[in-house]
Chains A and B, each alone.
Chain A
Amino acid sequence: MKKILILLIIMYPTISFSTENNKINKITKNLRCLICQGQSIYDSQSEFANSLKKIVEDKINENMTEKQIYKFLTDKYGEWILYEPKFNKNTYFLWLFPLAIFIFGGILIFKKKT
């Protein structure tokens, strides 16, 4: 069982949970509509969102990768536009805190067991 857990922890950063085939939908679902209240670009019908959808479509036609498109947009709008925060010095704590809780809890339980 410990092996399973270790395996999980190794898999942790690499897994992506997405069922989306369409690339435009996938990208626009991961973008925040900055002028709306908590909607993604994909879901929003605002002017801003509609223009951004066109931009993403253009960029895909220009053969930009998903990463390049995110880079293009964060250069203009900051990381606030991404729904999935990047893993960097600002977000180490965000990504690792739940993991730390999990390990800590595991230690508590197995110490009690033996």
Chain B
Amino acid sequence: MILSQIGYYSLIFVLAISILILFFCFKQLKFLNKNYYSNLINLNFLQFLLVVISFFSLIFSFLNSQFINKTVYENSHTTKPFFYKLSGTWGNHEGSLLLWILVLIIFCLLFLFTSQKKEKKYLTLTLLFQQIIILGFLIFTLVTSNPFDIIFPIPNEGLGLNPILQDPALAVHPPILYIGYVGCSIIFSSSLAALISQNINGNWASHIKKWAIISWIFLTVGIMLGSIWAYYELGWGGFWFWDPVENVSLMPWLTLTALIHSLAVIEKKSQLKGWVIILSISTFVLSVAGTFLVRSGILNSIHTFANDPQRGIFILIFLFLLIFLSLVIFFKFHKQDLNINKITLTNDLSILINNWFMMYFLSVVLIGTIYPIFLEVINDTKISVGPPFFNKLISIFLIPFLLFMGFGASLGWLKSNFQKIYFQNVVLFFISITISSYLFLFIGDKGLFLSLIMGGSIYLFLATIRDLIKRNKQNLSQRISHFGFSLLVLSILFNSIFSEEYNFNLSVGEKFKLEKESIFFKNISMTNDKNFKKVEGVFLIKSNNNKDIILKPQLRIYNQPVIITSEADILSTLYSDNFIVMNKIDDSNMFNIRYQKKPLMIWIWISTIIIALGGTLTFFKYRK
């Protein structure tokens, strides 16, 4: 009771302070000679304290299972392990919004602390836009999804958290993804502020680049955790389904990647200003649009939150207010760059080409995600846009993209010997063609096209390795990220081409023979765990040339709420993953077994970590 009250009222105070800050921002802008700036920082700090209190009171309500709180009642249960009680705080719509607000305010405060030397007008304007965003989300939370609603009489037991959400990767996935999204809000606010105060220059670019890279790192890791979760938990052995919810997190990532590359151009040459502003705006707009698409239930997806049309309409209005606000500001304050220099075949061109492809990939993902919505409203026709669409449109353009990337990054700002680089690239190109045509003999009937992509990615892989082992320290982080990316493409390709998958029915004691292996269903056992019953099968996989493997997939029967899930058992090695999952077939003692061998699976995660690591290294460079 008290906890909910504390939480609720501190949130109201956060709202009041937000309005107060907006008021002072306007005052500061009107009387530039006066200094309200210290007031603003103090208020912001107070706001931060209050939102932390509010957030912690929700956490404690979850930890102590205070079912008087409706959110706790609907999403928790006394028998749940401590860790999932904690992660239950943000595993639901209301709590995750509170977390979102918390991160927004933390970022706002961090921004103020780290950029005190900047011009006052620019800082005040940034704060102004940031508080508008905070205010929007606060009103949204308090009006439509208050996490501190109270129910009477107090229930004795909660309804429980959806078992498929009870997973370590998914427990940390939302906070990390939100940090990524919310980081974009700073980029949004500061680029609008810089536009109004006519402050867009190399200085601003290097200042905002840090925030862009932080958000980018968190988005990268967040997307990866979501993927890992899908791989482990959904039990299909896939890791990317082109599901709308996944697409929605990929879209800001694409614009952010383009933005980071373009910022490098402004840093050196003060070009592409308008374009950078557009990218900054659209990154955050896409993040909010993603929130809208996921939370409103407008899409059919695996992971839609419980939805309520009122919430959808609220975020929709907020989203379009942001869009219109930025449109007006952009058209009012943006002036065309007058001194467009000729762009020659240097790194600038390769950055433009990077942006070009990023925008193409974005357009594929965006149109594929929202087109069904448009068609349904306009024409009353319902269609699905699924993996074949995305794979087709993206894989074709992947070939030139990989080639450009391999060639482009090697140009560098360093005025290197063009002839030499040209020669190196031709050599690498021929090596990769040789390797891929050799592979083509292997995959044979699967087609010329795949080996073309393969050729491109091997070329990029070799090119990035060559760049990586260069002795100078310049752009090390970029080289590492590029290497990670090439490794990622290569492992995804190998994985999808050489994966083997077997689907069959077995009962206990039976054996299933594959070409080189046999799978023996040894036995089955049932045990009681804390909040679920566990049915565990033991499978012995004998193969001709490798050691025997034992895999133990499970069926879990959760008690609160009653849901049966199947947990895959996965043996990961550096070389390949063995993945097995079983499902009960009704009315028989047979089990449906899905056994998969997925080569280089672990390298998909490793390479994503390398990509993010590259980003992290920039900070050590900045620190110097």
- Which positions in A face B, CB cutoff 8 Å? 4-5, 8, 11-12, 15-19, 21, 25, 29-30, 32, 37-40, 43, 45, 78-85, 90-91, 93-95, 97-98, 101-102, 105-106, 109, 112-114
Partner of A38, one of B300, B356, B400: B300
Chain A CB within 8 A of B499 CB: yes
B386 touches A97 (CB 8 A): no
A-side contacts of B414, CB under 8 Å: none
Partner of B449, one of A17, A37, A43, A45: A17
Taking A32-B386, A82-B383 as known contacts, 5 extra A-B pairs with beta carbons closer than 8 A to each other, sorted by chain A number, are: A37-B300, A45-B592, A83-B388, A85-B385, A98-B364
Q: Considering the chains assembled together, what is the distance between the CA atoms of A94 and B503 in angstroms?
A: 34
Shortest B370–chain A CB gap in Å is: 10
B-side contacts of A37, CB under 8 Å: 300-304
B244: nearest residue on chain A (CB-CB)?
Answer: A38
A94 touches B367 (CB 8 A): yes
What are 28 A-B residue pairs whose CB atoms fall within 8 Å in the complex? A8-B399, A15-B395, A17-B392, A19-B446, A19-B496, A21-B446, A37-B300, A37-B304, A79-B382, A80-B384, A83-B387, A84-B388, A85-B384, A91-B375, A93-B371, A94-B375, A94-B385, A94-B389, A95-B393, A97-B363, A97-B367, A98-B364, A101-B359, A102-B363, A109-B349, A109-B353, A113-B342, A113-B344
A90 touches B375 (CB 8 A): yes
B386 touches A15 (CB 8 A): no
A-side contacts of B384, CB under 8 Å: 32, 79-83, 85
A94 touches B371 (CB 8 A): yes
A-side contacts of B497, CB under 8 Å: 19
Partner of B381, one of A5, A43, A90, A97: A90
- Scan B71-95; emit 1 where CB is below 8 A from any A CB, else 0: 0000000000000000000000000
A90 touches B450 (CB 8 A): no
Shortest A52–chain B CB gap in Å is: 15
A8 touches B400 (CB 8 A): yes
B383 touches A98 (CB 8 A): no
A-side contacts of B383, CB under 8 Å: 79-80, 82, 85, 90-91
B400 touches A5 (CB 8 A): yes
Shortest B346–chain A CB gap in Å is: 11
Q: Considering the chains assembled together, what is the distance between the CA atoms of A15 and B447 in angstroms?
A: 10
Q: Considering the chains assembled together, what is the distance between the CA atoms of A18 and B497 in angstroms?
A: 9
A-side contacts of B344, CB under 8 Å: 113
B386 touches A105 (CB 8 A): no
A-side contacts of B364, CB under 8 Å: 98
A101 touches B450 (CB 8 A): no
- Scan B300-334; emit 1 where CB is below 8 A from any A CB, else 0: 11111000000000000000000000000000000
Whether A90 contacts B379 in the complex (CB less than 8 A), given A8-B397, A19-B499, comes out as yes
Chain A CB within 8 A of B360 CB: yes
Shortest A94–chain B CB gap in Å is: 5
A83 touches B386 (CB 8 A): yes
B356 touches A109 (CB 8 A): yes
B-side contacts of A11, CB under 8 Å: 396
B396 touches A15 (CB 8 A): yes
Shortest B533–chain A CB gap in Å is: 19
A39 touches B382 (CB 8 A): no
Partner of B389, one of A4, A38, A84, A101: A84
Number of interface residues, chain B, beta carbon within 8 A: 56
Shortest B177–chain A CB gap in Å is: 19
Chain A CB within 8 A of B243 CB: yes
B386 touches A30 (CB 8 A): yes
B-side contacts of A78, CB under 8 Å: 381-382
B343 touches A105 (CB 8 A): no
Q: Of residues A5, A19, A40, which shows the largest number of chain B Cβ atoms within 10 Å of its Cβ?
A: A19
Chain A CB within 8 A of B368 CB: yes
Q: Of residues B364, B388, B499, which shows the largest number of chain A Cβ atoms within 10 Å of its Cβ?
A: B388
Q: Considering the chains assembled together, what is the distance between the CA atoms of A95 and B393 in angstroms?
A: 8
A-side contacts of B300, CB under 8 Å: 37-38
Shortest A77–chain B CB gap in Å is: 10
B389 touches A85 (CB 8 A): yes
Partner of A94, one of B238, B356, B368: B368
Q: Which of B572-624 contact A (CB under 8 A)?
A: 583, 592
A-side contacts of B496, CB under 8 Å: 19
- Scan B433-466; emit 1 where CB is below 8 A from any A CB, else 0: 0000000000000100110000000000000000
Chain A CB within 8 A of B391 CB: yes
A101 touches B368 (CB 8 A): no
B-side contacts of A91, CB under 8 Å: 371, 375, 383
A12 touches B396 (CB 8 A): yes
Q: Considering the chains assembled together, what is the distance between the CA atoms of A87 and B363 in angstroms?
A: 18
Shortest B592–chain A CB gap in Å is: 7
A25 touches B501 (CB 8 A): yes
Q: Considering the chains assembled together, what is the distance between the CA atoms of A50 and B302 in angstroms?
A: 19
A-side contacts of B238, CB under 8 Å: 43
B243 touches A38 (CB 8 A): yes
Chain A CB within 8 A of B236 CB: yes
Q: Which of B218-241 contact A (CB under 8 A)?
A: 234, 236, 238, 241
Partner of B360, one of A40, A81, A98: A98
A98 touches B393 (CB 8 A): yes
B360 touches A105 (CB 8 A): yes
Q: Considering the chains assembled together, what is the distance between the CA atoms of A66 and B489 in angstroms?
A: 30
Chain A CB within 8 A of B352 CB: yes
A-side contacts of B514, CB under 8 Å: none
A105 touches B359 (CB 8 A): yes
B360 touches A45 (CB 8 A): no
A-side contacts of B449, CB under 8 Å: 15, 17
B378: nearest residue on chain A (CB-CB)?
Answer: A90
Partner of B450, one of A19, A81, A106: A19
Q: Considering the chains assembled together, what is the distance between the CA atoms of A70 and B395 in angstroms?
A: 24
Q: Considering the chains assembled together, what is the distance between the CA atoms of A113 and B340 in angstroms?
A: 10
Q: Considering the chains assembled together, what is the distance between the CA atoms of A25 and B502 in angstroms?
A: 10
Q: Considering the chains assembled together, what is the distance between the CA atoms of A112 and B359 in angstroms?
A: 17
B-side contacts of A102, CB under 8 Å: 356, 360, 363, 397
A-side contacts of B396, CB under 8 Å: 8, 11-12, 15
Q: Considering the chains assembled together, what is the distance between the CA atoms of A97 and B304 in angstroms?
A: 27
Shortest B205–chain A CB gap in Å is: 19
B-side contacts of A17, CB under 8 Å: 388, 391-392, 395, 449-450
Q: Of residues A8, A18, A25, A90, which shows the largest number of chain B Cβ atoms within 10 Å of its Cβ?
A: A18
B352 touches A16 (CB 8 A): no
Whether A101 contacts B363 in the complex (CB less than 8 A), given A38-B244, A79-B382, A109-B352, comes out as yes
Q: Considering the chains assembled together, what is the distance between the CA atoms of A5 and B397 in angstroms?
A: 9
Partner of B340, one of A15, A79, A84, A112: A112
